[in-house]
Structure 1
Amino acid sequence: MLTEAEVRALTALHGEQTVSDLATNLDRSLSYTSELVERLETAGLVETRRQGKTKRIRLSDAKALELLTKLTQQYSHIDWPELLSGAALRVCYYLDTPRTPTKLARRADVHRSTVHRALAPLQHRGIVYQTDDGTYALNDGFEPLSVFARELAHHVHRQTVEAQTDTYSILWESLDEFLVQTPTEIDNEHFIPTGPDQFQRYGLPLLARDRRYYLYSEATCELSPEMLCCHMLVIDSGARTQSYCLLLLSHVDIDRNELRAQAIKYGVDDVVDDLCTYLDTSGAQRTSRLPEWEDFQELAEEYEVTP
């Protein structure tokens, strides 16, 4: 997320400085510091202005930097740039709640050994502790570290989508992915179309609105029906949407294990469980948002789907 040099530059910036001042504070060459500032400016973390021949720099108003400043001021005796380098921030993103090394590795997309290696210095400084069963957690007072990691990722996501459109809403996000709503058509290989209009791929032509939905992911190449179902429930978990998801689950050969995994990832596992139970019991067990079985059969017939 950030290199040690980038964190060190951000924590060294107080008020407005020249690039030369920052280079002196970092004990780095002017050319190295200029390149560092350029990267941080591209990332929207610093702002620069020209004063004659001198370039002056200051921190941007990104909320993540406000959190970082508070953290470094409160615990000024800690060398945060060294601790937060490498995969540490990636792992801390998921320390919003105590997690096992296996879960941290899976969610942060790193090896288990990387989790231990990244958290060992934090554990040594009393920032992180490990329970008898191996679960990692943040000690009291250091919870803002995970908040900072999450806000930093959110900032990166905003920078990514703002390179494509000015009008958008991020509906869901993880460390490396996010689901976005926008009125703008985005033509970028990492923005994968999803939402209502993608039901047409499965012979279910839903009425598309002016809004467009995209999953941003550098790891995913194609949208699966399991993902589409979960995206729809993130977009809107109302009765109509749940009925459409029932149509999809009835019409397409769904991998239940994959569906469950995706549902947990997107935080809609309770709703997905209700949908599966509804189908498995032919509507005998249903929540208030699900239709009577006869009504769903009528809807399914309209779309030529056999429940």
Structure 2
Amino acid sequence: MLTEGEIRALIVLHGEQTVSEFATQLDRSPSYTSELVDRLEATGLVETRRHGKTKQVRPSDAKALEILAAITQEYSHIEWPELLSGATLRVLYYLETPRAATDLAHRADVHRSTVHRALDPLQHRGIVYKTDDDAYVLNEGFEQLSTLARELAHHDHRQTVEQHTDTYTILWESLDEFLVQTADEITAEDFRSTGPEQFQTYDLPLLARDRRYYLYSETMNDLSPATVCCHMLVIDSGARSQSYCLLLLSHVDVDRDELRTQAVTYGVDDLVEDLLTYLDTGGEQRSSRLPEWEEFQELAADYGVSA
């Protein structure tokens, strides 16, 4: 997420100063500092302006910087730049709750040895500890480190989407992906249309809406029916959206194992289990938001779906 040099610069930078003054404070060359400022400006974590012939730099109003300042000021005796660089922030993103190394590796998409290498120095300093069942936990007073990692990722996601639209809402996010709602069309390569619009792919044309929905992902090429169903429930968990998901699950051969895995990822696992139970019992077991079975059969018939 951030290099050691970038973290050190963000910790040192207070108020507005010239790049030359900043270089002196960092004890680095003006050319190195200028390149560093350019990188941080591209991330939206610092801002620059020209004042005569000099270039001034100052921290942005990113919430992540407030959290970083609070942590480093409270624990000023700790050498934070070397502890938080590399993959450490990726791992800390998922340490908002106790997790084993294998779980952290899977979620952060790193090797298990990388998790140990990132967290062992923190454990040595009493910042994290291990439970009896080998789960890593942030010690009391250091929980904000996970919040910092999450806020940095959120800031990065905002920077990414703001290259394409000014009006948007992030509905769900993980370390490297996010689901966004906007009124604008986004055609960039890593934004994949999802939600109601994707139901047309399965011959289930839903009513047109003014809002558009996109999953930003640098790795996911195609959205499976299971993923689209989960996105629909994130977008709107109401009765209508659940009924549409029932149509999709009845109309398309959906891998249930994948569906359940995706549902956990998107935090809609309880809703998905309700939908599957409803279909498996012919509506005999249903939540309050699901239709009577006869009503669903009528809806399915309207869309040419066998229920």
TM superposition score category, shorter chain reference: over 0.9
Q: Could you list the runs of 4 or more consecutive aligned residues of structure 1 that deviate by over 6 angstroms after TM superposition?
A: none
| Partner SS, residue 77 of structure 1 | coil
Deviations 1:198-233 (A, max 9, x none): 100001011120100000000101111000000000
Counterparts of 1:103 and 1:25, CA distance in 2: 40
| Partner SS, residue 192 of structure 2 | strand
Counterparts of 1:200 and 1:15, CA distance in 2: 52
Counterparts of 1:22 and 1:116, CA distance in 2: 34
Which residue is 2:148 aligned to?
Answer: 148
For these two proteins, the number of residue pairs brought into alignment is: 307
Which residue is 1:42 aligned to?
Answer: 42
Deviations 1:112-166 (A, max 9, x none): 1100000011111111111121100100000111111101100000000000000
Q: Which runs of 5+ in 2 are unaligned?
A: none
After TM superposition, the score normalised by the length of structure 2 is 0.99
Deviations 1:252-276 (A, max 9, x none): 0100000000000000000000000
After TM superposition, the score normalised by the length of structure 1 is 0.99
- What is the CA distance between 1:25 and its match in structure 2? 1.9
Q: Which residue identity lines up with residue 99 of structure 1 in the other structure?
A: R
Which residue is 2:235 aligned to?
Answer: 235
Which residue is 2:258 aligned to?
Answer: 258
| Partner SS, residue 169 of structure 1 | strand
- What is the CA distance between 1:168 and its match in structure 2? 0.3
| Partner SS, residue 172 of structure 1 | strand
- What is the CA distance between 1:52 and its match in structure 2? 1.3
Matches within 5 A, 1:1-307: 1-307=1-307
| Partner SS, residue 136 of structure 1 | strand
Identity %: 75
Counterparts of 1:2 and 1:280, CA distance in 2: 48
Counterparts of 1:60 and 1:125, CA distance in 2: 30
- What is the CA distance between 1:105 and its match in structure 2? 0.6
Counterparts of 2:125 and 2:109, CA distance in 1: 25
- What is the CA distance between 1:21 and its match in structure 2? 1.6
Counterparts of 1:99 and 1:166, CA distance in 2: 36
Q: Which residue identity lines up with residue 200 of structure 1 in the other structure?
A: Q
- What is the CA distance between 1:303 and its match in structure 2? 0.6
- What is the CA distance between 1:177 and its match in structure 2? 0.4
